[in-house]
Amino acid sequence: MAPDLERYAALLDEARTIKGVSLGQDAWRRLKRNRVAMAALGFLAVLGTLAVLTPLLPLQPPRYVDTARQFAPPEFSQPGESGITLHSGPEARRASLEEGFGRLDPISRALLAVRVAVFRDWSIPSICGTDQLGRDVLSRLFWGARISLAVGLVATLVSLVIGVTYGAIAGYLGGRTDNLMMRIVDVLYSIPFIFVVIFLVTILSAETTRQTLHFELPAGLVKDFQEESVSGQLRAAFAEHRHALGADTALATETPGERWRVSQKEGRDYVVELDGGRLRVVTESTGRLLEASRIVVFFFVIGAIYWLTMARVVRGQVISLRNEQFIEAAQIIGASRRRIIFLHLVPNLLSVVIVYLTLTIPRVMLFEAFLSFLGLGVEAPDVSWGLLANEGIKAITPVRIFWWLVVFPGLALGLTLWALNFLGDGLRDALDPRMKNR
Amino acid sequence: MTAFVLKRLGWMAITLWVVFTVSFFLMWAVPGGPLDQERALDPQIEENMRQRYHLDDPLWQQYLRELSSALRGDLGVSFRLADFSVGEIIAQGFPISASLGIVALGFALVLGMTAGIVSAVRRGSAADVGLMAAATVGIALPNFVIAGILIILLVFLWPLFPAAGWGTPGHLVLPAFCLGAPYAAYIARLTRTGMLDVLSQDYIRTAYAKGLPGRTVILRHALKGAMLPVVSFLGPAIAGILTGSLVVEEIFAIPGLGVHFVQAALQNDYTLAMGLVLLYTTLLYTMNLLVDVSYAYLDPRVKLE
Amino acid sequence: MKAMLPYVLAGLSLAGMVWALAVGRLPPADFTFTNGDEIKTVDPALTTGQPEGRIVWSLFEGLVTWDPQTLEPRPGVAESWEISDGGLIYTFHLRPEARWSDGTPVTAEDFAWSFRRFLHPATASQYAYEMWYVAGAEKYTSGEVEVGDRVEVELLERPPGALPFAGGKILRGKLLAVEETGDDGKGKTYVVEIGRRRRRFRKGAGPGAGGVEPCRWVLYDFRRVGIRTPGRHTLEIRLKHPVPYFLHLMGFYPMSPVNRRCVETHGYPAWTKPENIVTNGPFHLKFRRIRDRVRLVKSPTYWDRENVHLDVVDALAVKSYTTMLNLYMTGQADWITAVPPEIVPDLIDRPQGDFRPIPFLGTYYYLLNANEPPLDDARVRRALGLALNKKQVVETVTRAGQQPARSYVPAGISRYVDYRPALCEPYDPEKAGRLLAEAGYPGGRGMPRLEILYNTSEAHKAIAELIQSQWKRNLGIDVSLANQEWAAYLVATRKQNYQVARAAWIGDYLDPNTFLDMWVTGGTHNHTGWSNPEYDRLIDAAQKEPDTRKRMAYFHQAERILMDEMPIIPIYSYVTQSMVRPYVRGFYQNIQDVHPLKYLRIDPEEKARVLAEEGLE
């Protein structure tokens, strides 16, 4: 008896030391062995980091126009033009920074401030040449990377969310609902998306008609020009005319003096001033149907095109998963359908989804380049890789070739998409459950 | 089989109707009607034109009118190319785009499949890596960049091909290459994957064991199975070629439908845009149908439902 | 069977390819040129732009033609003319040997009918306003009639024996009353006295009801419009007031005649098809391949065919500048009408000397929406103009030798007409800053963000980006950019949905009027919303003034007002962009960049030499 017990005890001890290998760890190990995929991953990680940290890098300002240096070929010796005036007051410095870099969000502004503090006004020379307006190509590549990668990522994520949800629901419910949902996908597949995109971009960029508001203060109300009293009168006048401006109109003092800003909830701004006895509207902000730049439009519109493939793939996967035992077990326990779909199915779809993610991002970025070719891409002075590639192509003529305008954006696009594709391939191989433990 | 095809055709009719309706309302939602020109029309003249084109009727009436004429095959007269009816424009441009597309696809298939097969057979070798890397270049660059580079190299540096236009076989080479390159890349990768799958199957091992030469094994036995993923990709590939042709046709000045596609949408040429949308949908649907049918031919295990 | 599938597919594709290429093959043309984007139409009454103009000028011939060098009117279908009654009456004598391509002679009645069609509101011709100098023409086109006018009523039925697309029967009479028939949208009932009876008419298609007859149109009687045909080959035109450039205008391409029988037999658009079309010009239409080419062949019936030297001409429809240049460089095109702006200096330096830009009758300018604050303040507008470095634009972006424009009328017009444009102030950023401060925005503070709208094009984008940086640097103001496709851009400018918009204007004839009459209050092209009654008065006076010196003085004063108030900022005057092979003879540079095909010919030895030199077959 005793030797059996010992044997069992030894077996038990041994069993405890064996650690199960999860699919994720297994996959990661396999991926590490794929050298090309790891190189791609490394490249993309570096690119992503640099893109985020671009304001920190000592690059020339991407919007700084200096036509004396137009079409300059790449060169290494002369330090770059930074266009940053350090010596005049902070006002001038802020203006020069804004001219060169545009209005930035707070984080980027902070990074930019650090860069100015560390590097002063030195910047990397134009090793990628300059374009028609003398702007440095290298810096435009980096700033363009931010937008191109952002569009790629966010649009793909949008398509992912829509596609996974749709496909998971269709696949799980099965039967006629599934049939109907897939037929809808078929129908949508047949619609030439180029029309959809053009229409959506055009509609969403359309200007709504502008209104001009004039209303009069009752005579005698304006007695003198002390700020306080005038603003009091202004408030009184607004109280009376609130209905003309619409609900949720707020009044705030913008600058000391005679101007006040009136903000409305939808984001329409009016700057008004007193002119004799009249309240005159000096300006009105642009009323677009969507108060957003084209970039945001892209995020949703492009994402809305690519979800179809994702939905199909996810549905296929769900159908094969549906019959697995662990789903059956969950159903027996009495888990709700929603819980099963989102808590059990979706995590198991991760591998498929990740692979398609890395393969959709390149398609999205190429589509953005296509839109730039048509003139529907991001609007100047924003810059994206598609826009740069497009400008470069227009510069290819039989008489003279400004090769750096094509080669560098082409390289940037090509390398990134190449890396994404290789990574996607590697992930697909790594996550293939048939290869487990191989 | 017949029932299957008929059911699919029925769905095609429904799809066409949905596409027609959605496009119709989308086009009318865009600001800027077809009558907008640089010189503002005299109000009386504008009113007359609106009457002639029935632009003032309630939207649903215009919709029904267009639907009924579309069903009769009358797609109307183009707004932008005023001398031509939509049918005439399509009749002129379609053969050209189609032949360009066919050549591009053929090139993509031949080059892609060859690369994929070689890659799969010599898996892991330098040839494999090299070919797959080259294939990825096709996917990684926008086709107008590829076109520009090719023009520099093959039209000006070494004058082998004409720069633009249509008429001789030489005119066909560069545009077809630019158009087909991304699809060659996809096909190469798909073939490789499919081939790898098939090569690990038992019946291939049997064939080798029987002593058949490698080439016979691959081409006669393995290829059919490996073609399945390629065949299912053909549908979207054709769709993509039709739209990708826009860029290529503009750069190489080829008088096909690709340019009409986008110009019609951008210039609010409603009638032409509608006609092309319907054509495109029909093509895509037919291609998908053919693909599904050939799927059944190629893989006896597949049953058409 | 299954194994055959790939071979069957391959065979089919090959067959398809061969077929498409066979269709594409063509015998070569004598002369090939690029003609911009695909033309809209060959119907002269419906044309809109230069590309159509080139084709129409080759297919049709009007009363006069323009001398290829001086642009002066020369005899066309009219072999001689007289001007009388203080410049109000033009009598044209048509040459009897002028023929249509179907062999019938060209008569004065052809012109009268063509002009009627041109002015008829149903045609909706965009250039109709150019003929409104003719007495009664504007009223005819407007379709408005007043009680007491003589009117023509066009019925729904055609006269017996009329051709399928002829107009309805015309009744003429006097309008007695106009009754509004309520608000059901059916409009008015016209009470017309015809002969001795009073008849009532309503426009529309439905059957008549209650004694009201349906009709197509009720218009001012065309017999009251100043176009008469006293003889078979005599055409008399009476104007409202003297127009010095009227003869020149009669050579403008929309004024070409069309063949009545052809139009009425086939209707539009069928009559424009090569198998149907009847033309009277130096060339005939062989075929049109959309977005490929228009092929013209020498007309065997043209009266001056001895002097036409080209047999087959191809007009290629190419949009991209780079492609145009590629075609030129590879010998596939002999003349291209535009070049990529980035390499213009290299092209000017070419030893072959085939690119020599000269001033062109057009101005590139920015529109300012004078109804939008802060642009409604003239000081702000002037400040923007003063802060715009036009020299930098032409030297670094356009680079083809364009001149910075200090006036709206291009300075080059002075070589053809005795007009001195009024100049605006030269580039002065300090003064601009002072003006802006005066207007209440010192250093640009408080100035709202302005948006520059332009139609999608690389060239406009580059210019807008440069100006954006100039205004930022010189005035400290924020500027954003927006581009829209041509159609949407037109809508936006027309509806004044913009703040700053890029625009351009090309003169139709050699007179300051073509530039300056745009800006009168409510003018159809006045997209700025600017209005100045003194300006209106001066333009009106200039149009009616018979004495040339005084006319030009009025125009000068008007332009002075325009430059002082600056609702538009002229940026540069265009230059021609034609690039042509030296072996093409009869090609002369002129300010309107008009090169009639009739006068061109190829020197074969020179051509062989040039092609050999460049290494082309």
C359 neighbors C403 (Cβ within 8 angstroms): yes
Q: Which residues of C touch B85 (CB under 8 A)?
A: 269
B278 in contact with A, Cβ within 8 Å: no
Residue scoring higher pLDDT (A253 or C269): C269
Give the per-residue pLDDT at C314: 94
d(CA B280, CA B284): 6
Q: How confident is the model at residue A234 (pLDDT cuts 50, 70, 90)?
A: low
**Count of CB atoms within 10 A of residue A247's CB?**
8
Segment among A8-17, A259-268, A357-366 with least mean pLDDT: A259-268
Contact A353, A160 (CB under 8 A): yes
Q: Across B108-112, B140-144, C532-536, which has the greatest mean pLDDT?
A: C532-536
Confidence of residue A141 (pLDDT cuts 50, 70, 90): very high
| Residues B122-136: tens digit of each pLDDT | 877 888 888 887 887
Check pLDDT > 70 for residue C259.
yes
Look at residue A1 and tell me whether its pLDDT is greater than 60: no
Where is pLDDT greater, at C79 or A245?
C79
Q: Which residues have a Cβ under 8 Å from the Cβ of C182 and sit 6 or more positions away?
A: none
Largest CA distance in chain A: 113
Residue B153 per-residue DSSP state: I
Q: How far does the CA of residue C128 sit from the closest CA of chain B (Å)?
A: 10
Q: Which residue has the higher pLDDT, A267 or A3?
A: A3
Residue A202: pLDDT band (50, 70, 90) is low
For chain C, the distance separating the N- and C-terminal CA atoms, rounded to the nearest angstrom, is: 48
In one-letter notation, the amino acid at residue C316 is: L
Report the residue of B83, B219, B270, B295 to disrupt the C interface, i.e. the one with the largest count of C CBs within 10 Å: B83
Least confident of C389-403, C476-490, C538-552: C476-490
CA atoms within 13 A on the CB side of C442: 0
Chain mean position to CA B187: 15
> What 3-state class would DSSP assign to A141?
helix
- Tell me what pLDDT residue A203 has: 57
Q: What is the pLDDT of residue B119?
A: 85
- Rounded to whole angstroms, the Cα distance separating B48 from A6 reads 104
pLDDT classification of A28: cutoffs 50, 70, 90: confident
**Which range is least confidently modeled, C24-28, C111-115, C433-437?**
C24-28
- Tell which phi-psi region holds residue A398, choosing left (phi > 0), alpha (psi between -120 and 50) or beta: alpha
Mean pLDDT throughout B201-221?
A: 75
With beta carbons under 8 A apart, name residues in chain C contacting A255: 445-446
Residue A20 is predicted with a pLDDT of 65
Nearest residue in chain C measured CA to CA from A379: C482
Q: Is C278 in contact with C302 (CB distance < 8 Å)?
A: no
| The predicted structure's pLDDT at residue C225 | 92
Report which of residues A114 and C363 the model is more confident about.
C363
B22 contacts A410? CB cut-off 8 A: no
How much is the pLDDT for C187?
67
Distance of alpha carbon C185 from the chain centroid:
35
Residue C302 has pLDDT above 60, yes or no: yes
> What is the predicted pLDDT for the residue at C562?
92
Q: Which residues of B touch A206 (CB under 8 A)?
A: 30-31
Q: How far apart are CA C121 and CA C125, in angstroms?
A: 8
> Once rounded to an integer, what is the mean pLDDT over residues A309-316?
82
Cis peptide before C269 (omega within 30 of 0): yes
Write out pLDDT tens, residues C313-353: 999 988 888 888 888 988 889 999 988 887 888 888 888 88
Most confident of B146-155, B199-208, C595-604: C595-604
- What local confidence, expressed as pLDDT, does residue B302 receive? 59
Residue C604 neighbours by CB under 8 Å, 6+ apart = C583
Is the CB of B15 less than 8 angstroms away from the CB of A421? no
Distance CA C65, CA C81 (A): 13
| Tokens linked to B304 | 């058409």
Cβ count near A324 (within 10 Å): 12
| pTM reported for the whole predicted model | 0.80
- Model confidence at C20, pLDDT cuts 50, 70, 90, reads low
Distance CA C143, CA C175 (A): 13
CA-CA distances (angstroms) from residue C27 to B167, B172, C295?
A: 10, 18, 11
- Residue of chain C whose Cα is closest to the Cα of A269: C448
State the DSSP code for B221. Answer: I
**pLDDT tops 70 at residue A15:** yes
Q: Are the beta carbons of A421 and B148 separated by less than 8 Å? A: no
Residues forming beta bridges with residue A253, ordered by sequence position:
A260
Mutate which of B77, B166, B262, B302 to disrupt the C interface (most C C-beta within 10 Å)?
B166
Q: A405: which 2 tokens?
A: 């305008």
The pLDDT of residue A385 is above 50: yes
What is chain C's mean pLDDT, rounded?
88
> What integer pLDDT is reported at residue B53 of this predicted model?
61
Angle among Cα B270, B275, B277 to the nearest 5 degrees reads: 95
Q: How high is the pLDDT of residue A235?
A: 57
Query: What's the mean pLDDT in A295-316?
Result: 78
- What does the pLDDT look like over B235-248, one tens digit per residue? 777 777 876 777 88
pLDDT of residue A19: 67
C-beta separation of C185 from C179 below 8 A: no
Binding-face residues of A in 35-74 toward B, CB within 8 A: 36
Largest CA distance in chain C: 90
**Residue C617 binned pLDDT confidence (cut-offs 50, 70, 90):** low
| Residue percentage of chain A with pLDDT more than 90 | 4
Question: Binning pLDDT at 50, 70 and 90, where does residue A288 land?
Answer: very low
| C576 secondary structure, DSSP code | -
Mean pLDDT of A101-110: 80
Residue B51 pLDDT level (bands cut at 50, 70, 90): low
Q: Which chains does B contact via 3+ CB–CB distances below 8 A?
A: A, C
CB contact under 8 A, B45 and C319: no
Q: Tell me what the pLDDT averaged over chain A comes to.
A: 72
Q: Lowest mean pLDDT: which of B301-305, C446-450, C463-467?
A: B301-305
Q: What is the pLDDT of residue A214?
A: 37
Strand pairing category for C150-155 and C170-180: antiparallel
Give the whole-angstrom CA distance, residue C458 versus residue A396. 13
Edge-to-edge strand order for the sheet containing C234-238? C78-84, C89-94, C234-238, C227-231
Q: How many CB atoms lie within 10 A of CB C544?
A: 13
In whole angstroms, what separates CA A316 from the centre of its chain?
29
CA distance C292 to C543: 43
CB B280 within 8 A of CB B90: no
Neighbours of chain C (3+ CB pairs under 8 A): A, B
* Backbone dihedral region for residue C340 (phi beyond 0: left; psi -120 to 50: alpha; all else: beta): beta
CB count in 10 Å sphere of residue A387: 26
pLDDT the model gives residue C429:
92
CA–CA dist C310, A91 (Å, integer): 67
Task: DSSP letter for A154, please.
Answer: H
Give the tokens for residue C464: 């807008």
User: Distance between CA C532 and CA A49 in Å, rounded?
Assistant: 58
pLDDT at B259: 79
Distances, alpha carbon B304 to alpha carbons B9, B224, C26, C81, in Å = 14, 18, 47, 80
pLDDT at A212 > cutoff 90:
no
Q: Which one-letter DSSP state was computed for residue A396?
A: B
What is the pLDDT averaged over residues C412-430? Answer: 89
A53 interfaces chain C, CB cutoff of 8 Å:
no
Q: What's the average model confidence in pLDDT over C568-597? A: 92
Residues near A125 by Cβ (< 8 Å), separated by ≥ 6?
A: A75, A76, A77, A78, A79, A80
Q: In this structure, what are the phi and psi dihedrals at residue A207, rounded to the nearest 5 degrees? A: -85, 135
Whether the complex's predicted ipTM surpasses the cut of 0.85? no
**Residue C444 Cα to chain centre, angstroms:** 40
* % of chain B surpassing 90 pLDDT: 0
Q: Identify all chain A residues contacting B18, using CB atoms and an 8 Å cutoff.
A: 187
Residue C220 has pLDDT above 80, yes or no: yes
What are the C-alpha distances in Å from C433 to residues A57, A111, A261, B133, C380?
34, 32, 24, 58, 10
Candidates C461, C495, C616, partner chain A, best to mutate (most A CBs within 10 A): C461
Pick the closest to residue B286 from B16, B67, B2 (CA basis): B16
Token duo for residue A167: 């496909």
Subunit contact B281:A190, Cβ cutoff 8 A: yes
User: What radius of gyration do chain B's Cα atoms show?
Assistant: 24
Coil vs helix vs strand at A258: coil
Q: What is the pLDDT of residue B256?
A: 84
pLDDT > 70 in chain C, percent: 95
Instruction: For residue A173, give every residue at least 6 positions away whose Cβ sits within 8 Å of its Cβ, in sequence order, or none.
Output: none
Q: What 3-state DSSP class applies to A248?
A: coil
Q: How confident is the model at residue A284 (pLDDT cuts 50, 70, 90)?
A: very low
More confident: C305 or C442: C305
Considering only the beta carbons, identify the residue of C5, C10, C269 that sits closest to B82: C269
CA dist A168 to A53, A306, A325, A344, Å? 37, 16, 17, 11
Pinpoint the alpha helices (H) of chain B: 2-29, 43-52, 59-71, 86-121, 126-140, 143-151, 169-199, 202-210, 214-216, 223-251, 257-266, 270-298
Give per-residue pLDDT as tens, A413-434: 888 988 888 888 788 777 765 5
What pLDDT is attached to residue A286?
A: 38
* Whether C163 contacts C265, CB under 8 Å: yes
Q: Is the pLDDT at A237 greater than 70, yes or no?
A: no
Rounded Cα distance, C163 and A328, in Å: 80
Nearest 5°: phi and psi at C332?
A: -85, -15
Helix (H) or strand (E) holding C314: strand C312-316
Q: What's the whole-number mean pLDDT along residues A181-201? A: 73
Summarised one tens digit per residue, pLDDT across range A52-103 is 988 888 888 888 888 778 888 888 877 766 666 666 677 767 777 777 787 7
Q: Count CA atoms closer than 13 A to A245's CA, side-chain side.
A: 28
Residues C330, B163 contacting (CB under 8 angstroms): yes
Statement: residue A267 has pLDDT above 60: no
Predicted pLDDT of residue A215: 38
Specify whether the backbone of B188 is left (phi greater than 0), alpha (psi in -120 to 50) or beta: alpha
By C-alpha distance, the chain B residue nearest A180 is: B11
On whether the CB atoms of residues C227 and C84 are closer than 8 A, the answer is: no
Q: Which residue of A has its CA nearest to C322?
A: A397
State the residue for tokens 């279908």.
C77
Give the per-residue pLDDT at A293: 58
